[in-house]
Each structure stands twice: as C-alpha cells, then as structure tokens.
Amino acid sequence: MTDQKNSRWKIVSEQLRNKYRLVILNDDSFAEKFSLRLSPLGLIILIGSVTIVMTTLVISLVAFTPLREYIPGYGNVDDRRDLLKLTNRADSLEQTLSSREWYLKNLVNVFSGQVEGKPEKPKKDTTGKYSGIDIKPSDQDMELRRDIESGKMQSTSNLAAVKNPVLAGMFFFSPVKGIVTTSFDLSEEHYGVDVAAKENEFIKACLDGTVLFAGYTASDGYVVQIQHGSNIISVYKHCSHVSKKQGDLVKAGEPIAVVGNTGETSKGPHLHFEIWYNGIPLNPEEYVVF
C-alpha cells in the first residue's frame, strides 16, 4: 500500500517537473518569434506569486491612498466626525431659530394687545353614549337607605363611622370603589383624595343633599358639588359625564356622575373627592372606606 502511494506521488511530482516549451511562430515563414520553457510546477508558482503581489498592491492602495474614500462604507474617520459635528450644530441652530420665532411671536402679541384665551370647553356628548345609563337605585341601595333612615347601624364595606364627634351619627356612602393614589395633604394644598377607578364607573353621592354646582372647569374637568346637612359639602372632580344639574335633590348612594379623565390636572381615570365641614377640608379617608 505504501509502495503504491509513493509510486503515485513520484508520478505526480515527475509530471509537475516535466519541462514544456511554449513557442510562438510566424504563420507565413514559420519563424520562431517567442518561446517560453516552463513546467506545471513553475506555472503554479508563477500564478501564486502574481496573485500575492497584486493582492498586496490593492490592499496598499486602499489602506494608504485617498482611493479608500471612494469605496462605499470605507469613509474617512475624520470626515465622519466632522459630519456629526455639523449635524449637531444644525440641530442646535434649528432649536435656537424656533425659540426666537416663538419669542418674537409673543412680543408681537403683547404689543398688539392680544392675550391667550382660555382653553375651549369640550363639547357635550351628543352620541347618546350615556343615554342608556340606569340611574335607578338597586335593591341593595334601597335597603341601605332604609337602614340609614331608620337609624340602624349596619356593617357594610361601603359605610364608615365618622370620627369627628360633631358629625356623630352620620354615615358616608363610598362614592366609588378603587385605590387611593394620593392622600389628603394640607401642606401640598391637596384638600381631598385621588381614587383610581375604572373609567365610566358610576360615582355616587356620599350623603343626601342638594346639588350646588354641576359643570365644567378648565383645571378640574366636570365637577359636582353637593350641599348636605350640618353644613357639609362634598366635591367630585374629573368626571367624564354629569347626570345631575344644579338644584337637584340626591340620595346617599345615588349615581350622580361617571369616572373620567377630564381637566388639565388629571393624569388618568380617577375621582378626586373632597369633604368640607364649616368651610374646613376634612380627610375623606377618616370617614369613607374606598
């Protein structure tokens, strides 16, 4: 087996080393014009050498001459840095021009006596979205009202005994079920609680009373204010819809509005609920279980 391999290798090596002559003759006189004596091995070495030399020359031209700038994706690093600087400078100039344009526009408005008006009041819903709302009290609500009117103290998740001794004997109906996201804080001038609830959920009156105000304000959206007995006022803000009007009589637990996200200060569907007693804000969490 080894002898066969050696014999094959010898045959191949001998064929590679055989000399051949390439002769170019004149077709008319048959005179020899050019001759070249080469072997297959020499031809392979010649082609490999030429390939290596050409590859080296091309790489050198690309790496060390300005020709590389004409190759797509092989730009100059300095040019790319300059382009980024110019782009940032153009963006800064655009922002500066926009700011100056607004400044000059405001100056023109001031000199001409033009004043920015109040935001446009959103139009009332005319599609009948809330026309099918059933505001009739349920059987549970009626039972709860009868218990309150008869003076019975029934334990329920919607009721909480008032801690203020002046308001002893009163029970507040929870206006909405949800999570208190922002508590009562006098130092921050936050005179109520923000209760995150599902959008379009009913808002109910916390006590019997008369509607003082039901309308829209720019900052608080649709608002309902109710006057109750003992000089108590409850306030419901950021509603999406109000089902009562000024002067209407309401019962505790009766739907008066719908949870929404109206007003400039609102950041999501929730109810801002306040309780006032003799003109002083009270912490609703002390009187209502949400």
pLDDT at 18 over 90: no
- CB-CB contact of 259 with 273 (8 Å): no
Which among 160, 188, 163, 166 is positioned nearest to 277, based on CA atoms?
166
Q: Is residue 46 part of a domain?
A: yes
What CATH number is given to the structural domain containing 227? 2.70.70.10
- Do residue 65 and residue 171 come from a single domain? no
Domain boundary among 26, 47, 70: 70
Most confident of 7-11, 64-68, 77-81: 7-11
Residue 34 lies inside a defined structural domain of this protein: yes
Name the residue range of residue 219's domain. Answer: 156-286
Write the DSSP symbol of residue 253.
Answer: T
Question: The tokens of 102 are what?
Answer: 């607004």
Place of tokens 């206006």: 175
Beta bridge partners of 37: 21
For 131-146, the pLDDT digits (tens) are 666 667 777 777 777 7
In a domain, 177, yes or no: yes
Residue 192 DSSP class: S
pLDDT band at 157 (very low <50, low <70, confident <90, very high): very low
Domain-embedded: residue 82: no
Spatial distance between the Cα atoms of 252 and 121, rounded to a whole number of angstroms: 30
Out of 12, 43, 70, pick the residue that ends a domain: 70
Answer whether residue 75 is part of any domain: no
In-domain check, residue 33: yes
Q: Does one domain contain both 62 and 169?
A: no
This prediction has a pTM of 0.48
Residue 98 lies in a domain: no
- The pLDDT value given to residue 187: 86
Same domain, yes or no, for 55 and 161? no
Q: Is position 90 within any domain?
A: no
Domain-ending residue, one of 48, 70, 92: 70
Count how many domains the chain has.
2
Indicate the pLDDT class of residue 162, thresholds 50, 70 and 90. Answer: very low
Q: Tell me, what amino acid is at 218? A: A
DSSP letter for each residue of 53-112: HHHHHHHHHHHHSGGGGGSTT---HHHHHHHHHHHHHHHHHHHHHHHHHHHHHHHHHHHT
Give the tens place of pLDDT for each residue, 179-222: 999 999 988 889 999 999 988 899 999 999 999 999 998 889 99
pLDDT averaged over the chain? 80
3-state SS assignment for residue 147: helix
Q: Give just the sign of the alpha carbon dihedral 9, 10, 11, 17.
A: positive
Rounded to whole angstroms, the Cα distance separating 180 from 222 reads 20
